Structure 1
Amino acid sequence: MGHRRFLPPDHEFVFDAESFDGSEEHRAAPIAYAQSAVLDNIKSIKDFEKSKTWKCVSGLFSLPYWDSNLLRHNLDIMHIEKNVCENIYRTLLGIDGKSKDNFKARLDLQEMNIRKELHPQKKPNDKYYLPAASYTMSKKEKQQFCKVLHDLKVPDGEVSAKVLYIEDLEKLEERIIMTLCRMEMIFPPGFFTVMMHLVTHLATEAKIGGPVCYRSMWFVERYLGKLKSNVRNRAHPAGSICEAHLADEAMVFCSKAHADEVTSKRRVNPNTLEKIQNETFHEWFKAHIKSLEEKNGIDSVENDIRWLARGPVSAAKRYRGFISRGFRFRPKRLDKVTQDSGVMLTAKTSSYAAAGDATPVLDDVTYYGRVIDIIELNYSGQFSMVLFECEWVDVFSEEGMKKDKYGYTLVNFSHLIHKGQKIEHEPFIFPNQVDQVFYVEDEMNPGWSMVVKQPKPRDSYDTGDLESAADIESESFHVSHLGGMLKKKTNDQHWVRTNIEGTLVDSNNNAPTNEE
């Protein structure tokens, strides 16, 4: 609680007492003390045994740079996001003994004299009835919520950004405060633990310490988890880890020694691969290049054009994965734990204003699909081309693509186009033409999936010649849109969800029982 202190003094939330803790917030934001001021305060203490704050002078102050050190504590974002996430889903799901909405939390509301609709109601046999809060979910809603989390697959290599912009971090600082204030209007005061407050410092620390990926514990925790998973004999854990490590090294050696790729003997249709609408273009192209060679000699035609006209060899390589522009792509059949098959392509597409119109109009159209296969065409050893074969959603029909009320794009893979059945179909694309997306099933709209775009490819760096922030597609829904959803009049606030039964708890036991 108390995050309104970080808002501007004229913000509407500062004067909204009923939506928060029952009082207006006119205190200034806390000031971060400099190290020199802290050291002066510590040195002024004559008897540390009587001090309630400091017990000794830290040896860190002996370092020559410590007085001017701005990043005194490197917050571990991994554990912060873990605890914040657990706080949210445990409270939403009402997990016994883990939810922050419990009997003690309701007593806090009663003591603070706020949200009277949520106060515990005394029942016979020393029990209390806790009304269902506005964020309480029904059993069906909990199942839908858990199913979305269980079925969620994100692309491989989800990592923190390696390049940060100061203006983005400053906006993020403001949005973090606004998000926490919005959450104070929803959840009880007991929800806001120390970990919830530490989120306010993450963007500030990033401005000083740089990207999180260079100062986090993720890779350490992942490697420790891998080592622990190798323990098969608890009596000799070190021996188990050593044997597993030797086995992994042996497998890597064998896989590299026998890494010959197997080619599939199948004839590739050159008409489809050229992705043209003219059925005779490839024949004309081949004949035209041949006539130029006969007329002007072989040297009159560039080598790549000459071999391209002859077409690829009949045997093509088939890949299980391919990395393009930092994105790792895999065919849909290999989407097990991660989801690396989603693609998005924006292309110029011709359309006609009317059926009798002979003049096509070019316009940008965004296509959504999934990679089905990855093949490499070999042009007689001179050069090769890698192509993605994809299944594309029908983006021209409302049955294939639509927008929900929050602005998110929903797609339906039961309605496809460009299936490759006709010569004008174009299921193949080049890897450098697409961006990676992943799809999340929408439980509220069966058969539909929400499109989530990758914010940035893995292992990419800003060399100072990238597109401006205005040219980058931003998220269609963020915390700023919550204002219109949560802004209510004081006499129109409802803290209780009436269509769900509350719980009965014992006064000395927080374990809930079903209300009959």
Structure 2
Amino acid sequence: MRYLPLKPRLQRLYMSMHTATNMRWHKEGLVNDDVMRHPTDGEAWKEFDRMYPDFAADPRNVRLGLATDGFNPFGVLNQNHSTWPVVLFPYNLLPWKCMKKEYMMLTLLMSEDLGKLIDVYLRPLVDELKDLWENGVRTYDKYTGQMFTMRAAVMWTVNDFPAYAMVSGWMTKGYLACPICKENVTSSWHARKVCYLGHRRWLPWDNEWRQNDKAFHGTKETRLRPREWSGDEILDQLNRLEFGHFSKGVSKPRPTTHLNWTHKSMLFELPYWSKLKVRHNLDVMHIEKNVFDTLVGTILDIERKTKDTIETRLDLERMGIRSSLWMQNVGGTLKKGHPFFTVKPNGKKEFFNFISSVKFPDGYIGELKKCVRNRAKPEGSLVEAWVAYESLTFCAMYLEDVETAFNRPQRNNDGGVRKEKLSVFAQIARPFGDPVKGESFTKNDMEVAHWFILNNCEEALPYLEEHEQLMKREHHSYLYAKKHRDLFPSWFHAHMNKLKELNSPSYDEELYNLARGPLHIELFSGCHVNGIKFLGATRDDKLTTQNSGVHVPELDHDDNDDVADQQLSSSIEIGEETLRDTNIVQEPFDIPGVPEFEISIDLGDLPQYNAPKEANEDEDEWESGNDSSEDSDSYYCSSEED
């Protein structure tokens, strides 16, 4: 076992201005609007504050979460070796920082499958946590420049279900596996395994599912929900039980009075542990995976993965429910009929094609596994690497002229603040790579893009409304919308020219440049927006991952669909308030042979469009001329999101 003391690492959080300020956020920077953004918005946190007002009075006291899980540091080379880290993380920090690697604290590293023996290894950590709660430790606060007594408390643990049993002391197997229901759990033997029923007990009395016997296991649910045990009641129950000494010997049968308790958790030695509203949390990642595997395995009828087995069908018949799923006697042989919830072969093929097309974000490799350098002593390697990482991270807080994790630009930095003042350009986007050569837009495509920008510019709204009223007076109701769309750009340009000539107070240089229309286009293979990388289709198709969430290829559209709105609204989307009335755009914004790219359109110099007399309109090209105009340059970007 390796133990890394906790106190000096908590003190470091207040020795640097980078973190000393952020450690107060949970109280001084919190927004109370009934939205769950951080654990401090939860009822468990609020109840803890009401119960221990002295601790809650000082926002510098540290709230911690504790997590542990086992992993194999060798990958698949040795299936018998198991390493168990215990990690603490401070919840005082902002929601997007409290779970960052820089602030996680590895305190324990154990090298065996622990079971209830985990309490033996938790002894030094629990002793230190008790001292931090009762006595605290004198700490220098860089923010105030004064010393104070820092205290700390563990708010809860975060584990998967097997680790839940080790940390809580309640075995999560067998007929009494549920740590909430305890002896009131509804469980029985079905299809060679223990199954847990009676979930409808938690529903409100007037819920229709309580009376629906056919959709469940043939009975109506009239029972109350199981009682909720308080921490003090659990502690009192544990104090009356005798568990004996910890050992690795053959486990003895538990007395019936012990229910599923295997040991009294060491964490109950913390004075506040029995008072917590929530002591243990389940890691939803494992639950999601298990549910997904079960659903997919059953729907696709995957051998050894499906829950629709012969034993399950026989069990349904024994229970007398869902006769359509009973085994069928065909010529003296029992056979499974095709259930309604199983996908047919053609459907399986479509499903597999869909799954193969899904692209997930770049994978995350276990940080601890990468630290193993000495395979003979993996735990020593892990601790050595982690201590070095923590030291470098702490020192980096004091380096100003050197690029560190605290001052380094984000990986997908979008380039800072734009110089344009118009709201439609508020979305920052930074293209990367060299402009794609040999690609261009037609005149029609440029006009569609220009109209979209004009129609979604807040500052141009008064002119849009003025011109719309003008078109209503001059044209029929069925025609004015099209005339408004076709004539507004030229009318707006002429109007802004007039305001400039008259030196009108309402003249705006930004709107004047916008009215002149798009001049120059550069196509890029991708761009950075809000710290996220977006790739064009051509580049993205070459990768097995996708850089902004889960990506699924777009479904085929009918050729007559008006797709301009969909493409442009996804390209320049800033928010619901900015995008309005995009349905006016009717022309499809598709460019044959041109993939999805970042579009950077320069509104600087005036263009000179020289269209050949016999050329087709779709083949027109825009060329920049040498205009001597002294007008200021500006540009706008639209990033085509995948």
TM-score, length basis structure 1: 0.45
Larger radius of gyration: 2
TM-score, length basis structure 2: 0.37
